Structure 1
Amino acid sequence: MAPLGRRGPLSEHAFSPHDAVLRDASRHVGRRRFLSVSAAAAVLAFGTNVPARGASAARELPPARIPENPFTLGVASGDPLPDSVVLWTRLAPEPFAEDGGLGQQRVAVHWEMALDEWFILVVRRGVAQAHPEYGHSVHIDAQGLDPGAEYYYRFRAGTWFSPVGRTRTAPAADSAPSGLRLAAVSCQAYHDGYYTAYRHLAEDDVDLVLHLGDYLYEYAVDSAGGARRYTDVKLPDVFDRETQTLADYRLRYALYQSDPDLQAAHARHPFVVTWDDHETENNYAGAVDEKGGPADAFLARRAAAYRAYWEHLPLRTAQQPAGHDARLYRRLHWGTLAQFDILDTRQYRSDQAYGDGPHAPGPESDDAARTIIGDAQERWLADGWRSSTATWNVMPQQVCFSQRRFDSAADASVSMDAWDGYRASRRRVVDAARSAGLDNWLVLTGDVHVGYAFDIKEDFDDPASRTLGTEITTTSVTSGRDGTERPPNWETYMTANPHLKWCDGRRGYARVQLDAQQARTDFQVVSAVTKPGAPIATAASFVTEAGAPGLKPA
């Protein structure tokens, strides 16, 4: 559909290709860093340092002062409700400059929604302010929409139009939709390869995309873009360092979102997002960083990371951070077919037991006081399940929920960073699901760069125990580079975990189709990500029948 790619000023339809954007932007990184680590701590530890909605001390930039395309990072939509959806963009004519090329002036941004991609039947329009305090990002909670409807949207700043996006609202709360097709994605390290899976996902027929974490990686990216060595792009040195400050995180999002395949997926489907660790720092736990440094310094970094995350994704005001805290767990519905309980397993967790690496469970990891989601979120989840009337209760979250023993020994190691390191917390969640009488419980997971299909057992150490639900773990988009169909530990994992029904180490995404009778999962994989243009294929398909938990080959 060509209009989805239409962009440019009113007088012409000019748009710089991806490589040209990178080259042009690289000329503007010689400025002083926007926030030093100490400044970030002072500004972010105690507040958000942002204006009240609609208010800003910054002067408004005259439209004629925007000579270059400001929509270099694309558009996105997300968190659909029956009568509203979030529309997002960020203005950045110089995406690799610390201020995006717009300085400290605010910009008036016009937006509109239509029933058609040519905007003949416009149904909603308005004007928003892109504030420098928010990195010139725009979040529109477009309301008064029809349930279960498809819309097209776009933005305008000065004489420049954004790309056209397509989105949809959720069905009416009391309706019974015939089906839902969703895709689960995670782990998209820019430096590990091309976003080929996103190009295929943009062309796939899904209603919704669930991003399960690691949208961003904090690690340095060299001038060649890591594994992306098939282009002649030379990235500026500003990316060749670990992210620490608000400016660092904003720049890293600009790098990721400059990718045309990621932009295509965002423009084509609404996203529901949740974070894991790398959006802030590897394996952090609550207020504890990876290396156990001072909590106040890490919380300042976490505040910067959380703020940049909200600025760059289609999230409502309710998810906007206040300092180093943000309420990301939330609940959405797809009529009476599905309830989505989106979890945050990072912000509230106890520190990992026995360090972050593999370890056999023991008194420290099994302490009943330990939690991976926090007491408040745990109660919220249980309460939501007790009141649920949905056919399918879907739990999108970050790290492996099911037991994953690394060998068959009696004292086998497990991951202390996953739910295996918080077994008492997992037991409480399993008990809550059983107590609520969930007939159709579906857990969606990311993190491990491998595709898994698990039966969720009442007792993972007893293969004959009752199956309570299904866990689908999507592989990474790029993280881990190309991967292989059968990783070296494939046979060991399959033997040590009888409830594990399938494992594949290639890159891609999981597509899940729900209806009143079953949940069908198709694991979509690409053959390579270190070279662009790989085809996509269905590696395996499974079904879970409604009312009969347990995976079966499709």
Structure 2
Amino acid sequence: MSEQSKNGINRRRFIAGSAAASGTLMLGGIAPAFARGDSKRPGTPYGVASGDVTQGEAILWSSSDAPAQMWVDISYHQDFRKHITLQGPNALAETGFSSKLAINDLAPGQKVFYRVRYQSLEDWQSWGEPVVGSFNTPPAVASNIRFLWSGDTAGQGWGINEEWGGMRIYETMRQTAPDFFIHCGDTIYADGPLKEEVTLKNGEVWNNIVTPEKAKVAETLQEFRGNFAYNLIDKNVRAFNNEVPMIVQWDDHETVNNWYPAEVLNDERYQNEQSVALLSARARRAFFEMNPIRSSAADPQRIYRKFHYGPLLDVFTHRHAQLSC
């Protein structure tokens, strides 16, 4: 079979990896939307995201709101006039309806466009609307690289205030057009529930959006997932994720402040679970489900890792954040 597809793209440039899912290659455009009842059309409430971009490789992430099959178009053209379609994994309740696809053999120094769509598993002819994202691949030669780093999202009682414009820092970061973003941890505050109103020193009131999962400390797997989903409600975060790939690690607040594995909590807020070992296991599972992070086949629980980003830069995440904080 020829290496060149009928779409004009070298087939070897886009091969689905096995770390997140085994992708099935299909030539041509994504299947058309046959809307047999809008109630069966899967949505994509939290947008798309890319991450762990290194030499020739990337992880693509998204989430449905119902059982659905993930499909991804990939192209070097913004209008997708030449592209291939990859079949991703099923988005099921067992993963909080999230799904990830590993792709590899990407060309260096390119902007890659991808388009995610879900096909209903309850009605095979019902398709959701596509959501488009993009990312840059590392350069093959010495080049300028722009990246951002930060941490601590929605902490200390400050959540999404739509009257203030939401998490505007993400829009400010997006406008700098970085090649990637390093989230240094505290991606959520699982131990930091939000109040609907916070009175400021000047008497003004800060109004938080509060979901059921953010109204209390996280104890169940669904509550940890809900903490990650909360950040994705924000339009600024979703727009940022659409354009900027991330390298993400965790710190302590993904579980609870300054925790260690053998700890048993003496905190009246934790009515259903006091074992930090169990809480951290649920937190880690939600962390992997809700982020575009690559899983190691040899060590599926490993969070620390290394990235080679062109000839001038290697990025290491912190090994000591692996077990406790």
Which bin holds the TM-score, normalised by the shorter protein? Answer: 0.7 to 0.9
Letter of the 2:254 partner, please give it.
Answer: E
Q: CA deviation at 1:290?
A: 6.1
C-alpha distance after superposition, 1:64-83 (max 9, x if no partner)? 47636621111100111222
CA deviation map 1:446-477 (0-9, x unaligned):
xxxxxxxxxxxxxxxxxxxxxxxxxxxxxxxx
Partner of 1:145: 106
1:203 paired residue number: 175
Could you say which residue in structure 2 is the equivalent of 1:309? 287
Q: Give the alignment's TM-score, normalised by structure 2.
A: 0.74
Q: Distance in 2 between matches of 1:288 and 1:53?
A: 35
SS at match of 1:88: strand
User: 2:279 & 2:35 partners in 1: Cα distance?
Assistant: 34
Q: Distance in 2 between matches of 1:186 and 1:226?
A: 25
Q: C-alpha distance in 2, partners of 1:224/1:321?
A: 43
1:187 aligns with 2:152: yes
Gaps of 5+ in 2: 1-19, 23-33, 120-126, 160-165
Superposed displacement of residue 214, structure 1: 0.7
Consecutive unaligned residues of structure 1, counting only runs of 5 or more, are: 1-51, 55-61, 93-101, 350-416, 418-554
Matched residue, 2:218: 243
CA distance in 1, matches of 2:316, 2:76: 30
The offset of 1:130, in angstroms, is 1.3
1:277 is matched with which residue: 252, 257, 262? 252
| Aligned counterparts, 1:63-102, within 5 A | 64=36, 67=39, 70-92=43-65, 102=66
Q: Residue 388 of structure 1 corresponds to which residue in structure 2?
A: none
Cα distance in 1 between the residues matched to 2:71 and 2:198:
34
What is the rounded CA distance, in whole Å, between the counterparts of 2:297 and 2:237 in structure 1? 22
**Segments ≥4 residues shifted beyond 6 Å:** 225-228
Q: What is the SS of the residue equivalent to 1:86?
A: strand
Separation in 2, partners of 1:63, 1:330: 42
Matched, 1:155 2:121: no
Give the residue type in structure 1 aligned to 2:259. Answer: Y
Contact 2:42 2:128 in 1 (8 A): yes
CA distance in 1 between partners of 2:199 and 2:212 (Å)? 13
Residue of structure 2 in register with 1:165 after alignment: 133
Indicate yes or no: 2:89 matched with 1:117: no
Structure 1 residues 194-273: aligned runs within 5 Å: 194-218=166-190, 219-224=192-197, 235-273=210-248
Q: Residues 39-50 of structure 1 correspond to what in structure 2 (within 5 A)?
A: none
Aligned identity (percent) is 24
Q: 1:289 to 1:64 in 2, by over 3 A?
A: farther
For the residues of structure 2 that align with 1:133 and 1:340, how far apart are their CA atoms? 32
For 2:117 and 2:198, locate their aligned partners in 1 and report how far apart those are by CA, in whole Å.
31
Residues in 2 aligned to 1:89 and 1:229: alpha-carbon distance in whole angstroms: 34
Question: Whole-Å Cα distance in 2 between the matches of residues 340 and 154 of structure 1?
Answer: 27
Residues 53 and 296 of structure 1, relative CA distance in 2, 3 Å threshold: farther
Change (3 A) 1:66 1:83: farther
TM-score, reference length from structure 1: 0.45
After superposition, the C-alpha distances for 1:501-542 in whole angstroms (9 at most, x for unaligned) are xxxxxxxxxxxxxxxxxxxxxxxxxxxxxxxxxxxxxxxxxx
Distance 1:344 1:151, change over 3 A: same
1:85, 1:207 → 2: CA distance?
13
**Residues 271 and 225 of structure 1: CA distance in aligned 2, closer, same or farther (over 3 Å):** farther
CA contact (8 A) 1:177 1:336 kept: yes
* Structure 1 pair 197–330 and aligned structure 2 pair: CA distance change class (3 A): same
1:131 and 2:92 equivalent? yes
> 1:285–1:346: 8 Å Cα contact kept in structure 2?
no
Matched, 1:331 2:294: no
> Which one has more relative contact order, counting CA pairs under 8 Å at least 6 apart?
2
Give the Cα separation in 1 of the matches to 2:247 and 2:186: 14
What letter matches 2:255 in structure 1? T
RMSD (Å) for aligned C-alpha atoms: 3.2
Q: Which has the larger radius of gyration?
A: 1
CA contact (8 A) 1:153 1:166 kept: yes
CA contact (8 A) 1:113 1:151 kept: yes
Which aligned pairs between 1:429-440 and structure 2 lie closer than 5 A?
none
- The AA in structure 2 aligned to 1:70 is G
| Counterparts of residues 396-475 of structure 1 (less than 5 Å) | none
Q: In the alignment, residue 165 of structure 1 is paired with which amino acid?
A: G
Q: What is the aligned length?
A: 272
Secondary structure of the 1:161 match is coil
Aligned partners of 2:313 and 2:276: how far apart in 1? 37
Q: Which residue in 1 is equivalent to 2:317?
A: 342
Counterpart CA distance in 2 for 1:201 and 1:161 is 27
One-letter amino acid of the structure 2 residue matched with residue 80 of structure 1: V
Taking the aligned partners of 2:220 and 2:298, their CA distance within structure 1 comes to 18
CA pair 205-211 structure 1, distance change in 2 beyond 3 A? same
Do the aligned partners of residues 300 and 64 (structure 1) sit closer, same or farther apart at CA in structure 2, a change above 3 Å counting?
farther
Aligned-partner SS, 1:318:
coil
SS in 2 for 1:301: helix
The letter for the 1-side match of 2:95 is Y
- CA shift in 2, pair 1:234/1:79, >3 Å: closer
